[in-house]
Structure 1
Amino acid sequence: MPQLKIGPFYLGKPDADDREAVESASRVLPFNFPHVGVTRTAPPLPEDVAAEGWTVDHNRVMVGRGRAAYGKARRLLEEWRHFDLGWACVNAPTVKPGAPVVVTALSLFCWTCNPLRISYVEECALRRGSKQQLPPWSGAPPAAAAGARLQEQWLQTLRGVLPGRPSGDQTQPQAAAVAAARPPRGRRYAFAHTTLGGHQISGEERFTVAWNAEDDTVWYEIYTLSRPGTLVASAAHPVLRAFQRKFAADSCDAMQREMAAGAGSGK
């Protein structure tokens, strides 16, 4: 039975009919983000995009070692296991350009169903000397501390005591400097979904798994470019930022948990 809806908010968790209605609409809705695909080579962002003042969240965590671990992480990403969060879930479409994505999430006391569309999917080798984005392992926090650090960030933000830029963010000069100092070598799989009209946010989010051939580590990365897409989201921006940080923390934890599951049995 469809849930009672007030504006963009549902008073109970949206059921299958609610989610299917949003998914159907998302097949034809226009993007509400003007730089579709810009996260493909970020960071750093093009200077003209960076000058527009978008909020950038860049979080990453080590999830394993070896080519087999990279293959498993890639499969988990394609299965949307990084979205198995309880308070947030996704319709889990086949990962391909143009696929409609519906993110259902609980924010404080209300639920939302927000439409997105996969804007690109790519897998490539990372080679020294190639012009590519900052590799996920550059400047990354230790794996054991990452989830706890991100979780504490979101809790502090919700309490209103965290000033300024989160420690997971990087400025344009920092990103460019690290990219130049640490040219990547390995393999990378990534896809992004971009917000559509009716989404409370305007932006693009890239999910990446990458294998670093130099030390055999495997990384999971979330790179998000966003700002409020509606007046409601603008008014609730501090709460929105808190839940964006919570998503990053929980998603990193979910990938680490899924990668650890069955590790001893070779699954």
Structure 2
Amino acid sequence: MVFEIEGIDGMFLLQQPTATQIDEFIAIQAQQELTYSSLGATQVPTPPGGFQVDHSRICLGQGREVYEQAKRALQDWQHFRMNWVSLHRQQAVPEPGQNVAILAHALGLWVLNASRVIYVLEESEPVQRFAFAYGTLPEHAECGEERFQVEWRADDDSVWYDLYAFSRPQQLLSKITYPYVRHKQKQFARDSLQAMQRAVAIHEK
């Protein structure tokens, strides 16, 4: 396990990496393969075996305007706006094949994770929704896939943000500290729901 770097060749870091180092990290990880075989499995009802499943959702309001606001917020990755996590990307909106880095600060370390957008979808039936998912690359603490979705339900006009993921620890430090990792995963879900609430509330003013 690498705790200090020359350039950027590890994901558990003692110092915050620079923007240039993160760009180099993304470029290196862009040449790598995803770390799991069930690509796109966040679109099917039954998750692959051997993974921990997490599912969180929150009602953001009602009506087309709220849905469009939530969709724009998701396209702008505003669901990552929290005080202990930052997202770094080289393209503006999520699209298949896009590689991103997620930088988190925890336990006195800077943890840099690499992911790749697997799919982006937009549907009008049976529920109007916009969603995308990313999967993990080799330099990621976890192995798995996560889907981010906003939906507008015709039956009651409600708009929801839905977060669904399956994962298991991939790096040694993640396995050793797995109870803490699970705590941070749950915190991320809560903070992401709140970030989307804020994003919609700001646009409603």
TM score, norm. by length of structure 2: 0.91
Q: CA deviation at 1:26?
A: 2.1
Tell me, in whole angstroms, the C-alpha distance in 1 between the residues paired with 2:69 and 2:107. 34
Pair 1:23-2:23 in alignment:
no
Partner of 1:251: 192
Tell me, in whole angstroms, the C-alpha distance in 2 between the residues paired with 1:216 and 1:249. 24
Residue aligned with 2:160, SS: strand
Q: CA deviation at 1:107?
A: 1.7
Partner of 1:69: 66
Q: Which runs of 5+ in 2 are unaligned?
A: none
Partner of 2:144: 203
Tell me, in whole angstroms, the C-alpha distance in 2 between the residues paired with 1:68 and 1:262. 10
Q: Deviations over 1:140-197 (max 9, x none)?
A: xxxxxxxxxxxxxxxxxxxxxxxxxxxxxxxxxxxxxxxxxxxxxx301100000011
- Highest RCO, 1 vs 2 (Cα 8 Å, sep ≥ 6): 1
RMSD (CA atoms) = 1.6
Residue identity opposite 2:46 in structure 1: L
Judging by fraction of residues, say which structure has more strand: 2
Partner of 2:56: 59
Contact 2:29–2:139 under 8 Å retained in 1: no
TM score, norm. by length of structure 1: 0.71
Q: Deviations over 1:214-253 (max 9, x none)?
A: 1111000110100001222111101100100000000101
Residue identity opposite 2:32 in structure 1: L
Partner of 1:193: 134
Q: Deviations over 1:117-156 (max 9, x none)?
A: 00000001232xxxxxxxxxxxxxxxxxxxxxxxxxxxxx
Runs of 4+ in structure 1 over 2 Å off: 3-8
Counterpart among 83, 86, 91 of residue 86 in structure 1? 83
Q: Which runs of 5+ in 1 are unaligned?
A: 128-185
Tell me, in whole angstroms, the C-alpha distance in 1 between the residues paired with 2:109 and 2:135. 23
Tell me, in whole angstroms, the C-alpha distance in 2 between the residues paired with 1:231 and 1:108. 15
Aligned residues: 198
Residue aligned with 2:112, SS: strand
Q: How many percent identity over aligned positions?
A: 37
